[in-house]
Amino acid sequence: MMKSLVENFSKQLSDAIAIGTKARLTEPAGQISNVLICGLGGSGIGGSIVSELVVANANVPINVTKGYFIPAYVNENTLVIVSSYSGNTEETLNCMELAAGRNAKIVAVTSGGRMLEIAKEKNYDHIVVPGGMPPRACLGYSLTQLFFILGHFKIITNNFQKELENAVRLIDAEESNIIAEARSIAEKLKDRTPVIYATTYYEGIAIRLRQQLNENSKVLCWHQIIPEMNHNELVGWTQKNDNLSVLIFVDKDEYSRNLARIDINKEVIKKYTSHITEIYSKGTTAIEKAIYFIHLGDWVSVILGELRGADLMEINVINHLKSALSKI
């Protein structure tokens, strides 16, 4: 099932665009001065990615929280977007309740559950996406709605829709190449620990790959960000370890100083592992590049899971955690 969901990613994006264009959102009582996106896991990573993609475009600060609580600044001038695919994520439901207590403008993105019930009871704006799938396989739905919400409240310009549509065409045109590249990358990761590096505004993309490798491939890995890791982690490369396989996301239009850093990092790291792979962006806009990276990374996680003989759908430990928490 997970493989077919990844195969249908472009269709999901197209469906999500149709849902977003039909969304009916009300106007806030006052001027929006900041935005808070609340969500965890597959529902929360969209907030991380979108907040980075629009940083040069958004006219107010956008923050993301992935826990039970909201910042002190949240008030009646805050747009709070709560995203929970199941509608039952307890941390996000708690944030929703706290935001209501601050008279924030609330918009919910969910497929149902308690979140949708509350949104209907309290007359909060909400966008309903199709349910019945693993949240990590529905990033196309949640991420797209964030753009439409930010666009509706004029936090960003409306260019995003055309860019999303172009991204759909890009991954459709590149699908066979994406799968081939993903297989090559997955084979380099088999029986090794992935180390993921990206530059500042691609951290959400790096986290997405890390999470997909955790859940689909059933492996541990880590990520760090350039240039920050040049001030700490790079010093940790002091011992030969060919059990590590380094992946570096590279935007072909990246700031020249970061491209130089990537080259210097490779010179240092290749002394300690021979497994270094650069993953280059495709597309002309930030949204197109992000969608390309996401889809490629999802394919890497699926193919690596198959190579390892993993059950791509199984998340027993998460279910155990939720069951244990429900008894407390």
266 included as an active-site residue: no
Pairing of strands 105-110, 125-128: parallel
Instruction: Out of 91, 215, 254, 288, pick the active-site residue.
Output: 215
Catalytic annotation, pick one of 11, 190, 252, 322: 322
Q: What's the one-letter identity of residue 258?
A: N
Q: Is 322 a catalytic residue?
A: yes
Angle of CA points 90, 48, 70, to nearest 5° = 45
CA dihedral 256, 56, 168, 294 (to 10 degrees): 60
Does 231 participate in catalysis according to the annotation?
yes
Q: How many CA atoms lie within 13 A of 36 on its CB side?
A: 25
Count other C-beta atoms under 10 Å from residue 210's C-beta. Answer: 22
Helix residue spans in the chain (DSSP H): 2-7, 9-22, 41-53, 90-101, 113-122, 139-152, 160-189, 203-212, 256-269, 286-307, 316-326
**b/e sequence 269-280, b meaning 16+ C-beta within 10 Å:** beeebebbeebe
From 22, 121, 231, 327, active-site residue:
231
**Positions marked catalytic:** 215, 231, 322
